[in-house]
Amino acid sequence: MNARNDSQSNPNPADWHPADVLAALKKRGQSLAGLSVANGYHPTAAGKALKQPWPAMELLVAQAIGVTPQMIWPSRYSGDGNPLPRAKT
């Protein structure tokens, strides 16, 4: 079972694997670089959202796939769908 389907049986689902995000974009004829550039960002911007929290870019990626950011990155969002505060280093 993949992380996308675990939300129904697992109360704490895992974030999607970056390869799953890339595959979902590719199935819809999109790429991370294309998504970034189309929205006025540097070509590598969307790729950074796969590795670290970036709510604005996460929303763009999720919209391109047709889901909510909380579905892709549940560990980054509260139960009401708001981004969690970033941990201070």
In a domain, 30, yes or no: yes
Q: In terms of pTM, does the model score above 0.85?
A: no
Residue that wins the pLDDT comparison between 1 and 45: 45
pLDDT at residue 88 tops 60: yes
Q: Residue 36: give its domain's CATH number.
A: 1.10.260.40
Q: Give the pLDDT of residue 6.
A: 44
Q: How far apart are CA 18 and CA 39, in angstroms?
A: 20
In a domain, 8, yes or no: no
Task: For the chain, give percent helix, strand, coil, nearest 5.
Answer: 50, 0, 50
How many other CB atoms are there within 10 angstroms of residue 28's CB atom?
11
Q: How far apart are CA 69 and CA 5, in angstroms?
A: 15
Q: How many domains does the chain have?
A: 1
* Domain limits for position 22: 15-76
In a domain, 10, yes or no: no
Q: Give the pLDDT of residue 11.
A: 56
In a domain, 87, yes or no: no
